Amino acid sequence: MALSFNEVNKRGSYTWIKCNDDAKAGYFRNMFTSKHGGDFIHNNGRWEWIPQKDQIIILEPSFSQPANKEEEKEKIKEKCWIFSDESEKKYVTKNLQEFCKDNNLTRSSLYEVISGRRKSHKGFKLDKIIE
């Protein structure tokens, strides 16, 4: 049976909490090892699961990173932003980095305008996002 190594040993995951912070952690570790094999070792104040040598383990990417970077890039490329300046002139762009360079804007400030944390940046306001 394939098992995700990250799910068991990643701090904060459901299985990690059941093995470390739960009131019945010892019972859960025993049930886990009887089902999946391997052994738990106590390391720096927490329990880590060590699988058997011949056991198949799936190493998953962490959740903080996108599962597929190319899919994330495609989603970003599909978006189109419409901005207006102080004179109500409309600007349409698919590439925010180039838009910032062309108009002498700060990228982080423009992202704050897009997220709604700022109303405008150097006179540029967000009118619409087309996905």
Q: How many angstroms separate the CA atoms of 61 and 44, rounded?
A: 23
Q: Mean pLDDT by 10-residue block, N- to C-terminus, for the chain (131 residues)?
A: 64 80 83 82 80 60 55 65 89 88 91 90 89 73
124 Cβ contact list (under 8 Å, min separation 6): 83, 84, 85, 91, 103, 105, 110, 113
In a domain? residue 16: yes
> Quick one: pLDDT at residue 59?
47
In a domain? residue 29: yes
Q: Provide the pairing of β-strand 57-58 with 3-4.
A: parallel
pTM, 2 dp: 0.42
Q: Which of 12, 30, 58 is the last residue of a domain?
A: 58
In a domain? residue 64: no
Helix (H) or strand (E) holding 130: strand 125-130
> Quick one: pLDDT at residue 43?
78
In a domain? residue 63: no
Whether 52 and 73 map to the same domain: the answer is: no
Q: Which two tokens mark 100?
A: 């910032």
Contact 129, 80 (CB under 8 A): yes
Q: Report how many domains make up the chain.
A: 2
> Quick one: pLDDT at residue 80?
86
60 Cβ contact list (under 8 Å, min separation 6): 4, 5, 6, 7
Domain of residue 73 covers: 69-130
Q: Provide the pairing of β-strand 3-4 with 46-50.
A: unpaired
SS3 label, residue 63 = coil
In a domain? residue 89: yes
